[in-house]
């Protein structure tokens, strides 16, 4: 059975003046119901709560104040879920509301619990409707977007494909709103710096993500061997069309190798509590030889952290090269950095491990 994550943005579901577009929600529900009948498991990552709440509160423009955004999200979430409930009900499909915050991904236990809940819902044929818990998650409203959430959910449920519904056809050589000669990029072999540059940074008036955030989301997903499509979400039938092999929008080719789920969690979900600056020998050992990080290769320790926290590793120029789970607290690490493993117990009075970060808990970036 194939598993699919469909991300639907605010600009697809809602209008700044009119609020929720219930006809479009019904159209999307119709498409997804057909996919379910064909054997697909589908998770929806949906924006639209804030946009729906704007109309109910009589707001003419997207609020910038965090508290007002939270209020709009609280008011709009019920309308959004009712629209999904009613639309999917027409096709005898059951939906479930799942609200997540970044902590549900950064905390390992909550991450596993979220995964188990979503997989259990899918096993019962339910369509989970995932959204960020905007009402309480101030940081997510201010800095997050649902493109990123969709990529994280895709990894969480081990999806085969992520489909991002956009208000444009896909990724272009330039912004088509300003250059009518811009050409659609139908296939992306690898997400390079040039691809990121072409995607720009601007978002919509009712959403937080533009094409740039979609490309960054695709970058995360493809690194886990998940295929990604960015297509026009205002055109009915395109999801089925791309799944049958037809070309629409932009296809991002998945990487050939999949990170283990633990390393994927370390790379993209764990929150870094500090930074280790490494000497040239340590950088070479990690990047070229697949070795663990020893205290002897650490030049300096930045930040405060405890055993089991995630930390970044940088070279002498500040370039991030790796991220991993540390075996010593920052205070202990400052005492043993630059020293041989044989000296650890003498300095600290104990030795938890020869390695500062074991290679099994280390991900190259």
Query: Known binding site for ATP: residues?
Result: 7, 166-167, 208-214
64: left (phi over 0), alpha (psi -120 to 50) or beta: alpha
- Residue numbering of the annotated binding site: 7, 47, 134, 146, 166-167, 208-214
Unique residue bearing structure tokens 């449920």 = 157
- Residue numbering of the annotated binding site for substrate: 47, 134, 146
Unique residue bearing structure tokens 């990047």 = 287
Phi, psi of 331 (to 5 degrees): -65, -40
Phi, psi of 324 (to 5 degrees): -160, 175
Among 43, 42, 55, 68, residue whose Cα is nearest residue 13: 55
Q: Say whether 50 sits in a helix, a strand or coil.
A: helix
> Is the sign of the CA dihedral 186, 191, 196, 202 positive or negative?
positive
Helix residue ranges per DSSP H, the chain: 10-13, 22-37, 49-56, 66-89, 103-106, 108-123, 138-143, 146-156, 193-198, 211-222, 238-243, 261-268, 280-289, 330-336, 344-348
Residue partners of 256: CB distance under 8 A and separation at least 6: 225
């Amino acid at each position: 059975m194939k598993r699919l994550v469909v991300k639907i943005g605010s600009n697809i579901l809602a209008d700044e003046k009119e609020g929720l577009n219930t006809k479009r929600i019904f159209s999307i529900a119709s498409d997804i119901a057909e996919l379910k009948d064909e054997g697909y498991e589908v998770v929806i990552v949906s924006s639209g709560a804030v946009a729906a709440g704007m109309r109910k509160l009589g707001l003419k423009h997207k609020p910038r104040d965090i508290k007002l955004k939270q209020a709009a999200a609280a008011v709009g979430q019920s309308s959004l879920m009712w629209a999904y409930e009613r639309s999917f009900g027409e096709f005898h499909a059951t939906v479930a509301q799942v609200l997540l915050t970044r902590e549900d991904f950064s905390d390992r236990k909550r991450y596993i619990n979220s995964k188990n809940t979503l997989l259990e819902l899918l096993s019962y044929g339910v369509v989970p409707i995932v959204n960020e818990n905007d009402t309480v998650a101030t940081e997510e409203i201010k800095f997050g977007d649902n493109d990123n959430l969709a990529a994280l959910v895709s990894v969480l449920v081990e999806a085969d494909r992520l489909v991002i519904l956009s208000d444009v056809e896909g990724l272009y050589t330039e912004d088509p709103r300003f250059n009518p000669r811009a050409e659609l990029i139908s296939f992306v072999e690898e997400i390079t710096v040039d691809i990121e540059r072409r995607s720009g940074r601007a978002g919509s008036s009712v959403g937080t993500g533009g094409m740039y955030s979609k490309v960054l989301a695709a970058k995360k997903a493809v690194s886990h061997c998940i295929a990604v499509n960015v297509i026009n979400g205002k055109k009915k039938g395109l999801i089925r069309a791309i799944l049958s092999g037809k070309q629409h929008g932009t296809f991002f080719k998945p990487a050939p190798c999949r990170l283990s789920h633990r390393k994927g969690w370390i790379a993209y979900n764990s929150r870094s509590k500090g930074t280790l600056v490494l000497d040239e020998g340590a950088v070479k050992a990690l990047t070229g030889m697949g070795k663990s990080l020893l205290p002897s290769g650490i030049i300096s320790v930045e930040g405060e952290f405890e055993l089991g926290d995630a930390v970044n590793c940088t070279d002498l120029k500040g370039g991030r090269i790796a991220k991993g789970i540390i075996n010593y607290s920052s205070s202990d690490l400052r005492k043993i950095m630059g020293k041989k493993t044989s000296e650890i117990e003498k300095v600290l009075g104990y030795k938890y491990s020869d390695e500062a970060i074991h290679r099994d808990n280390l991900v190259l970036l």
